[in-house]
């Protein structure tokens, strides 16, 4: 395990240190802490209270909160990002030896960089290209013609289908399926005729895709996920969607086909986006929101309704279902009031 002094951390990240520069930091912790060699962070000023009982060795926080810290502190305007970087130093990724596990199957014509690590029981199809320092954990499939750029990491049991392209440093978590055939059918009488899905998926650099998430290949053109996009677990991205750079999508969200989500969007958990829509840059959709029309203005949009005790909710839903009648009754009262006023005049 790594071991860094507070003084080294302050120098390395250009931070003001208040406290003992010789304090050795060996692990991260919550504010509740776990001893003098731990470091925590406080990003949310509303949690300042929690500093009272802080038992971490040191804490990273905003300069404005320095006075509230009972322990050594490093001051940063972005404590969470600094914490992320320090944690990455304290917990370096295990070095992975280059080479191909003997149980892996590499089809003829695949090109695997000599610095890549191909884990146990991986399958790499004909014509696939595996770049420098790529890591494939156990049980990954990279189908024919797919291309993984340098430093891509497939954690374990990831499925990358034909001709999919994945940009440098992207990380795919277990169970992710990239490039399955999209849900494209033409109705003919009562049957559905499958429409060949001849596009593929292009994923940019520094993308992260969660466990059991699915990204379908394009029907004609490609499904495109731009650089820096982060997608959580169990998300569905339909064929021919495009997702702009640095957008983040939380778990259980779903995008139907051919929708275009802008850059720097934040999509909450369980959100649904219908097909063939355009959502502009810098849109936040809170959890459980349903989008069925274009969104042309940046901002926050919502659609979920928070829970109520069941009996109250049943009454509310009953009223809601009769809201049309209620509105008509109000209209009638207004009419009567207007007439009544008239009569009274």
Q: Which helix (H) or strand (E) holds 323?
A: helix 323-344
- Radius of gyration for the chain, computed over Cα atoms and rounded to the nearest angstrom: 27
Least Cβ distance, residue 98 to its own copies (angstroms): 17
The continuous run of DSSP H or E covering 186 comes out as: strand 185-188
Q: In this chain, which stretch among 18-26, 65-73, 108-116, 132-140 interacts with its own copies, using CB under 8 A?
A: 132-140
In the window 239-298, what residues touch its own copies (CB under 8 A)? Answer: 245-246, 248, 250-252, 254, 256, 263-264, 269-270, 272, 274, 284-293, 295
**Least distance between its own copies and beta carbon 23 (Å):** 19
Catalytic one among 239, 246, 260, 276? Answer: 239
Sign of the Cα torsion 303, 309, 313, 316 reads: negative
CA quadruple 333, 336, 340, 342: dihedral, nearest 10 = 120
Annotated catalytic, 276?
A: no
In angstroms, the CA 224 to CA 219 distance is 12
Q: Which of 50, 177, 205, 280 binds its own copies (CB under 8 A)?
A: 177
Residues 6 or more apart from 300 whose CB is under 8 A from it?
283, 284, 285, 286
- Neighbouring C-beta atoms of residue 173, cutoff 10 Å: 21
Among residues 213, 146, 135, 206, the alpha carbon closest in space to that of 170 is found at 206
Within residues 9-38, the interface with its own copies by CB under 8 A covers: 27-30
Dist. CA 316–CA 55, nearest whole Å: 47
The binder of its own copies chosen from 10, 120, 205, 280 (CB under 8 A): 120
Task: Tell me which residues in 184-223 interact with its own copies (CB under 8 A).
Answer: 185-188, 190-196, 198, 206, 208, 210-212, 214, 216, 220-221
- Is residue 161 at the binding interface for its own copies, with CB under 8 A as the rule? yes
Residues 318-337 that bind its own copies (CB under 8 A): 319-324, 326-327, 329-330, 333-334, 336-337
* Per CB under 8 A, 109 contacts its own copies: no
DSSP letter assigned to residue 295: B
- Do 89 and 65 contact (CB within 8 A), yes or no? no
The minimum distance between CB 72 and its own copies, in angstroms, equals 18
Residue 299 as a binder of its own copies (CB under 8 A): the answer is yes
Per CB under 8 A, 121 contacts its own copies? yes
The reply to whether 145 sits near its own copies by the rule CB under 8 A is no
Site for its own copies contains 313 (CB under 8 A):
yes
Angle between helices 79-90 and 6-13 (to 10 degrees): 120
Draw the binding track, 36-75, toward its own copies (x: CB under 8 A; -: no contact): -------x--------------------------------
**Residues with catalytic roles:** 239
């Amino acid at each position: 395990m790594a071991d860094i002094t507070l003084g080294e951390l302050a120098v390395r990240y250009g931070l003001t240190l208040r406290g003992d520069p010789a304090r050795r930091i060996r692990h991260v912790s919550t504010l509740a802490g776990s001893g003098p060699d731990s470091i925590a962070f406080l990003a949310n000023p509303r949690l300042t209270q929690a500093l009272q009982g802080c038992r971490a060795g040191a804490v990273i926080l905003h300069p404005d909160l320095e006075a509230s810290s009972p322990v050594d502190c490093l001051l940063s305007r972005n404590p969470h990002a600094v914490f992320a970087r320090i944690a990455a130093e304290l917990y370096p990724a295990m070095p992975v030896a280059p080479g191909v596990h003997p149980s892996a199957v590499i089809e003829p014509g695949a090109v695997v960089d000599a610095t890549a690590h191909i884990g146990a029981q991986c399958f790499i199809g004909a014509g696939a290209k595996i770049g420098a320092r790529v890591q494939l954990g156990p049980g990954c499939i990279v189908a024919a013609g797919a291309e993984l750029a340098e430093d891509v990491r497939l954690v374990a049991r990831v499925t990358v289908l034909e001709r999919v392209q994945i940009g440098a440093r992207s990380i795919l978590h277990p169970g992710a399926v990239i490039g399955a055939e999209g849900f494209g059918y033409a109705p003919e009488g009562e049957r559905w005729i499958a429409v060949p899905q001849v596009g593929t998926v292009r994923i940019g650099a520094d993308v992260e895709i969660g466990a059991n998430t699915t990204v379908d290949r394009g029907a004609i053109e490609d499904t495109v996920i731009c650089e820096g996009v982060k997608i959580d677990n169990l998300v569905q991205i339909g064929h021919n969607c495009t997702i702009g750079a640095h957008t983040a999508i939380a778990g259980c969200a779903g995008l139907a086909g051919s929708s275009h989500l802008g850059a720097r969007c934040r999509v909450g958990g369980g959100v649904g986006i219908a097909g063939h829509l355009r959502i502009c840059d810098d849109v936040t959709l809170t959890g459980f929101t349903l989008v069925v029309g274009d969104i042309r203005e940046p901002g926050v949009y919502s659609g979920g309704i928070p829970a109520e005790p069941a009996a109250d909710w049943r009454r509310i839903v009953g009223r809601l279902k009769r809201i049309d009648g209620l509105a008509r009754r109000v209209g009638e009262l207004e009419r009567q009031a207007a007439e009544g006023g008239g009569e009274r005049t």
